[in-house]
Amino acid sequence: MTARTFEVKNYSIHLTRNMAQSPGCNAVIQCKGSDGEKYSVLFYITGDHLPNNFTDFSDETVGISHRPSTEYIWYIDLLRNEHPVWATLDDRNPDQNRIWCSEPVGEGEIFVRPSE
């Protein structure tokens, strides 16, 4: 296997001072797909010596990326403002794990009125 792509259907944000299982991590974004796919992005106060990214397709589709906290706003902006958003996880090269979107040039911002 090389890579799997899924549409991100929901995400959660966890802010913390210092995660016990990932020292130095101060934020986590967890993205989920409709078939149970999971992609977590862990953000670290310092971008020095980040842990290796991880992808596993053996029991379920799971990926983890480790990024400096300076990139946190990029991920939040994409998840909050674009649709659809996709995640691609690569088990041969986990450094290629990513979220992304694709839309027409010049689409502009679209305002969706909440249901009354």
Interval 10-56: pLDDT, tens: 999 999 887 777 788 899 999 999 999 999 999 998 767 899 999 99
Question: Domain segments of the chain: what residues?
Answer: 3-101
Tell me the pLDDT tens digit for each residue of 55-109.
999 888 999 999 999 999 999 999 999 999 999 999 999 999 999 998 777 776 6
In angstroms, rounded to a whole number, what is the distance separating the alpha carbons of residues 36 and 25? 24
pLDDT of residue 45: 86
Using CB atoms within 10 A of its CB, is residue 5 exposed (0-12), middle (13-18) or buried (19+)? Answer: middle
